[in-house]
Amino acid sequence: QVPSDPLQRRVRELAALSQQLQRVHPNVLAKALRQAVVYQDEEIVAINKPYGLPVHGGPGVKNCVADVLPVLGKLLAKARDEPLRLCHRLDKETTGVMVLARSEEAAEKIRLLFKTRRVEKIYWAIVLGEPDPAEGLVEIPIVEKEVQSHQPHYKMTLAPSYRLADEDGKVVKIRKNRDAQSAVTRYRRLTSSSACSLLELQPITGVKHQIRVHLAYGLGCPILGDHKYSHWSKLAPQKLPEIALKRLKLEQRKARHLPLHLHARRLCLPRGEGGRVELACKPPRFFTNTMLKLKLELPED
């Protein structure tokens, strides 16, 4: 049965698209990514990565960005016919700007820019609740831990350097977890409505799932559709506020089908002598449709 509500139809379409991406021939996927190119020059190619497409292979993954780079390189061939190279990664469910290199030399230069934190990365996310304060910096180390529950699983989580003492509530420095990685995320609330907010995010570091963990566990504002990090001790669908459900015309039992609303909006790369290139992608249709439903006004560029 086809849902009458446009948002629910789009959610179902996204789930179907994610499955189709794993069934299509790699050449078909490469042609689709060619249509998603937003910028290219002699050294790099930037694409708008679609929702549901993994960057790397793994269990159950038949198609990923890495596998179709040789075909995509031929489709976009300029002076030389080489496979494109990965320079960084995005999560399977994250959409937006992704940079590929035309040669290994160019890839190494771009990877070094990311490693030395010289790339400015800007994301947009629709989150539950409102961060307090509305603008700030989350600087809490992150570590991966096993969650002991009826479904044991692994999650990234916070590994703070301080805690409150049980006796007198004074701040006590904690012994650093040797596996924890430093993580810093700058955030700014752009607008709020329907018990949700649109945030602009700038990850200063690049730890796995950093934005999702800092928003959910650091600010108490999990990303809409982030079912993994909306709870700690269990794997369960995200629970949405009543007003958000009403505006989305969604029943709570259907919330499990909501996609992750995290979009890589813009990347600024240093290029040449004092120059830079700015790469930007508009949010996907499901993202902007959700904003309209929740009455979150889209910021002007």
pLDDT at site 91:
93
Same-domain status, 174 and 59: no
Write down the pLDDT at residue 63: 82
Number of domains into which the chain is organized: 2
* 52 domain residue, yes or no: yes
The set of catalytic residues is 91
- Asked if pLDDT for residue 230 goes beyond 70, the answer is yes
Residue 216 scores a pLDDT above 90: yes
Reply yes or no on whether the pLDDT at 8 is more than 90. no
Query: For residues 243 and 261, what is the distance between their CA atoms, to the nearest angstrom?
Result: 18
With respect to residue 301, please indicate whether it lies within any of the assigned structural domains: no
Does 175 fall in a domain? yes
Question: Do 3 and 133 belong to one domain?
Answer: no
Judge whether 166 lies within some domain: yes
pLDDT value at 284 more than 90: yes
Question: When comparing pLDDT for 216 and 11, which is higher?
Answer: 216
Same-domain status, 71 and 86: yes
Range of the domain at 205: 118-296
Q: Does 39 map to a domain?
A: yes
Q: 136 and 103 in one domain?
A: no
| Number of CB atoms found within 10 A of residue 185's CB | 23
* pLDDT for 172: 80
- Ranked by mean pLDDT, which of 190-194, 247-251, 269-273 comes out on top? 190-194
Helix axes 6-21, 285-294, angle to 10 degrees: 160
> Are 49 and 154 contained in the same domain?
no
Pair 146, 90 in one domain: no
pLDDT at 195: 97
CATH number (domain holding residue 12): 3.30.70
pLDDT at residue 62, as a whole number: 76
Q: Do 180 and 276 share a domain, yes or no? A: yes
Residues 124 and 251 in one domain: yes
Nearby residues of 281 by Cβ (< 8 Å), 6 or more positions away: 38, 48, 95, 96, 97, 263, 264, 265, 266
> Do 109 and 130 lie in a common domain?
no
Last residue of a domain, one of 81, 116, 151: 116
> Which 8-state DSSP code applies to residue 247?
H
pLDDT over 90 (residue 59): no
The pLDDT of residue 19:
67
Write down the pLDDT at residue 208.
94
Are residue 161 and residue 262 in the same domain, yes or no?
A: yes
pLDDT at 18 over 70: no
pLDDT at 211: 98
Q: What's the pLDDT score for residue 79? A: 55
Is the pLDDT assigned to residue 66 strictly greater than 80? yes
Mean pLDDT of 147-172: 82
Q: Higher-confidence residue: 77 or 226?
A: 226
CATH number at 194 reads 3.30.2350.10
Provide mean pLDDT across the span 288-294.
95
Mean pLDDT across the chain, nearest whole number? 89
At residue 80, the pLDDT reads: 61
**Looking at 84, 116, 148, which one is the last position of a domain?**
116
Does the structure show a pLDDT above 70 at 301?
Answer: no
Helix (H, G, I), strand (E, B) or coil at 280: strand
Residue 32, domain member (yes or no): yes
| Same-domain status, 173 and 25 | no
Which of the listed residues 68, 92, 116 is the one where a domain comes to its end? 116
Q: Answer yes or no: do 128 and 100 share one domain.
A: no
Greatest Cα pair distance, the chain, in angstroms, is: 69
